[in-house]
Structure 1
C-alpha cells in the first residue's frame, strides 16, 4: 500500500510540475520525508516536510494542540448563534446546535484516526488525504477550493470583521461617536498587525498566539452571556421570542449560521502533524485528548451564549445575522462603555490570533511551490515576503469585496463539505469497512446528509440573495 501511494504521488508530481511528496514515510518523532524515489529512497530528493511550516516542527504536545484547536474553534461566527435562535426558536435552535456539535466531533474523530491510517505514513494536510482517498484528479477537484477558501477566505473575513470592530471601538471610546480613522485605515491597521503575527516560522511556534487567541475567545464569549444575566435589562423591557418568518429561505439561512460555526476540519490534520508519533504513542492518542478538551471549552462558550443572549434580547437580534459589528452594538447601547470596550478588545485580539492559524495552509502551499522549484528551504526573507504577499492579497480582497460576510452562507456551503461530508467518505475509501456493515452504512448516511445540507444551504442562500439583493459596495468598506 505505501508503494502504491508513493506511485500515486509521483503521478501528482508529474501533473503539477514537480510537486513534492508531502507524506512522512515513517511515523517517528522527527521524520525525514523526501521527494523522489517511489520506494522510499532519497533518489537525490529533498526533505520536503522538514522545510515546510506545517511539519517543520513535530515537537508539539497536548497543550499546543488544544489551544490551536480552541483558537480556531471559537470563531467570530460564534456570536451570531443567537441570530439563528431568533429564526429557529428555542427548541429547534437547541436541537440543531447540538446535532451540529456532535456531528463535527464525530468527523473530527474520523480525521484524527485517518492521519496515520496507512502503514508507516503520516498525512498532515487535508488535500493530501483527499488525494489518497479519491485519487489525484478527483481529490484535487473536491478539496483544493474549499480548503483554500477556508484558509484565505477566513483571513479575508477576519480583516473585514476585525477592521470594522476596530472602527467601532474607536467610536465607542470617543466623546462624539466619531473615529480618527476610516474603514480602509482600520482594515490596514488590522492587516499589518496580523501579518506581523504571521511571521512565526511554523505552526508549532504559534502556540503563544493560539493561547492568547483561545483565552480572548473564551473571555468575550463569557462576558457576552454573563452581562445579560447580571443586568436589569430583562426586568425593564419585554422581550418577544415568536418567529414571524417560517419560509424555507429564512430557516435554512439560520441553519447555515449554525453550520458555519463548525468549520475548522481543514486544520485538524495540520495541527496533528505538529505532534510527535511512534508505534507506542501514536499522535492520534494525544490529538484526540486535545480535541475533547478544546471542544468541551468551545461548548461551554457557545451553548450559554446562544441561549442566554436570545433569552435577553429575543426579537431585537437580527435574525438574518448581519455584520458582527451591528450585533455588538447591542452591548454598546445597553451596558457600560467599559464593558463594551472590553468585549470589542477581546474580540479584536481573538480575530488577530486566529488569522495566522488560518493563514498557515496558504503559507505552507506557497512555500511548497518555492521549495520544489528551488530545491531548497525558503530563507527567512523569502518566507517573510511570501506571508506579506498573502496578507496583501487578503487585504486587497477585503477592500474590493467588503460585503463578503453577507455571502458567508453561500460560499461557506461549499466549504462545509470539508466538515460534514468528506471525512465519512474518506474513512470508507481508506479503512474499507465491510460493505453494508454498520460503520459503512453510517458513514454513507452521514456523507450523503452532509452533501444534502450543503446543497440546501447553497440553494437557500442563493434564493435569499435573489429576493433581497446583495447591495454590493465594491471598494467602499
Structure 2
C-alpha cells in the first residue's frame, strides 16, 4: 500500500509532467494499444476456465464480461473530459475528482497498481514459459534449462524496453504485439478445430471434493475477469489523442476501442469455446500446452505469445514508471533523466521478475489478480465514479444499471479473490520453488 504522504498531488503531477505526454495519436493508435492491453495471455486460460464452469455458465460468463466491460470502458472514455477544458489523463486523477484528493488516491491507486503490477508479473511468467515451450518443441534433445532461467531471459527484454520514455515511443512494439495476439489466438482455435475432440473427451465436471470444486469455480471467474484488463490504462491511452471543442478525444478513442473490442471478441470466444470443445475438462491451464501438433505451428504460436507479452508488459509498466518517477521527482527531488529512468525502471522490472520466478502459477495468478485487481477496475469502479460525478437520478436506467454492476462486481471480486488465493496456497504446498 502506498502512503498518501508520499503520493504526488495532482497539481504537482500537472506541473512536473506538463508536455510529457505528446497528444498526437490517432484512433488506430487507441485500437492497437487497447488490443495489446486487453488481449493478453489470459486468453489462453479461457478453455481451462470453461472446464471448471461448464458450457452454460462459462458461455454466460464470457458474454456478460465482454458486454459489461465494454460498457464500463465507455464510461471512462466519457469521463476523460467530463469537465470542460480539463482532461483526466490518469485513473488516479479521475478518482481524486470523484472522491476528493485524499480518498481518491486510496480508492484508485492500490487497485490500479494491483492491475498493472499483476499483469506484469503474469506476463513475466507467461513470457518465460512460452519461450521455454518454443525452444523445447524445436530442440527436443537440447539440454533443458530450468523454467526460472527462461523467465530471466524474458526479463532481459523488459530491462531494455523499459528505458524507452513513453507509450508513443514503443508504438511499433505495441503494434507488433497486437498483431501477434491476433495471430496466436487464431492459431490456437484453428489448431483445436482441425484436431477435433480428443479421444474420450468429457465435458462433465472433474471429480473432486465439493470445497475444491467450489474454489476452482471461483478462481475461474477471476480468470475470465483477468481477460478484460484494458481499463487500468485506458485513460493513459486516451491521453495520447489530441482534443478540441469541435473534435473531443472521446470520438476517436471510442472508435478505436469499439474496433479493439470486436477484435477481442474474435480472439476470446473461439479460443474459449473451441479449446474446451477439443479437450474438455482435461485441458491445460494454457491451451497451447495441450496442443502438440503440428509442432512447427505450435512453436510459432508460443513465439508469438512471447512477442505479444513483451509489448503488453510495457503497456502496463509505463503508467507505473510514470508514478514512480513522479514520486521520486516531486518528493525526493530527484533529477529527471537517464540515470533516474535506469535505476527506477530497472528496479521495478527486477521486482516483477522476482515475484514471477517465485510464484509461477499461471492459472492461479490469473484467478487471484483477476478477482483482487481487475474486477474492481474493470467491472464496478468506473460505475462508482460515474455515480459520484454524474449523479444520475435515483431509479433512473443509468442509476439501476450502474448500481447493479457494482453489486455484481463486488460479489465476483470476493469469490474469485478467495478462490485464486486458496489455489495459490494449495499449489505452493507441493511446488519446488526456483526449479
| TM-score in same-fold range (> 0.5) | yes
- The question of 1:240 aligning with 2:240 is answered no
Contact 2:137 2:299 in 1 (8 A): yes
- The question of 1:209 aligning with 2:173 is answered yes
Give the aligned partner of residue 184 of structure 1.
148
C-alpha spacing 1:297/1:377, structure 2 compared with 1 (3 Å):
farther
Shift of 1:86: 1.3
Give the aligned partner of residue 21 of structure 1.
11
The within-5 A match list for 1:333-372 is: 335-372=293-330
* Paired positions, count: 428
Shift of 1:72: 1.1
Report the 3-state secondary structure (helix = DSSP H, G, I; strand = E; otherwise coil) of the residue aligned with 1:256: helix
Give the aligned partner of residue 250 of structure 1.
216
What CA distance in whole angstroms lies between the structure 1 residues aligned with 2:341 and 2:100? 31
C-alpha spacing 1:421/1:184, structure 2 compared with 1 (3 Å):
same
What CA distance in whole angstroms lies between the structure 2 residues aligned with 1:228 and 1:403? 24
Shift of 1:142: 2.1
Report the 3-state secondary structure (helix = DSSP H, G, I; strand = E; otherwise coil) of the residue aligned with 1:158: helix
Q: Structure 2, unaligned stretches of length 5 or more?
A: none
The within-5 A match list for 1:133-152 is: 133-152=98-117
Give the aligned partner of residue 17 of structure 2.
48
Contact 2:80 2:88 in 1 (8 A): yes
Give the aligned partner of residue 23 of structure 2.
58
Report the 3-state secondary structure (helix = DSSP H, G, I; strand = E; otherwise coil) of the residue aligned with 1:118: coil
**Bigger shift: residues 382-391 or 184-193:** 382-391
Report the 3-state secondary structure (helix = DSSP H, G, I; strand = E; otherwise coil) of the residue aligned with 1:421: helix
Give the aligned partner of residue 452 of structure 1.
411
**Which of these two proteins has the greater Rg computed from alpha carbons?**
1
Shift of 1:248: 3.1
Q: 1:433 aligns with which of 383, 392, 399?
A: 392
- The question of 1:68 aligning with 2:30 is answered no
Shift of 1:237: 2.6
If asked which structure has higher relative contact order (CA below 8 Å, sep 6+), I would say 2
User: Which runs of structure 1 show a deviation greater than 6 angstroms over 4 or more consecutive aligned residues?
Assistant: 374-377
What CA distance in whole angstroms lies between the structure 1 residues aligned with 2:279 and 2:263? 24
Give the aligned partner of residue 351 of structure 2.
393
Contact 1:210 1:354 in 2 (8 A): yes
What CA distance in whole angstroms lies between the structure 2 residues aligned with 1:404 and 1:265? 21
Contact 1:218 1:301 in 2 (8 A): yes
Give the aligned partner of residue 378 of structure 2.
419
**Bigger shift: residues 287-296 or 365-374:** 365-374
The within-5 A match list for 1:238-387 is: 238-244=200-206, 247-318=213-284, 321=285, 324=286, 327-332=287-292, 335-373=293-331, 378-387=336-345
Give the aligned partner of residue 126 of structure 2.
161
What CA distance in whole angstroms lies between the structure 2 residues aligned with 1:423 and 1:194? 30
- The question of 1:97 aligning with 2:55 is answered no
C-alpha spacing 1:263/1:21, structure 2 compared with 1 (3 Å):
same
Shift of 1:253: 2.4
What CA distance in whole angstroms lies between the structure 1 residues aligned with 2:242 and 2:181? 27
Q: Structure 1, unaligned stretches of length 5 or more?
A: 1-12, 24-32, 35-46
**Bigger shift: residues 101-110 or 88-97:** 88-97
What CA distance in whole angstroms lies between the structure 2 residues aligned with 1:462 and 1:403? 11
Contact 1:225 1:304 in 2 (8 A): yes
C-alpha spacing 1:435/1:79, structure 2 compared with 1 (3 Å):
same
TM-score normalized with structure 2 length: 0.91
Deviations 1:127-185 (A, max 9, x none): 22112112233222222222112222211221122112212222212242642x33232
Shift of 1:375: 6.6
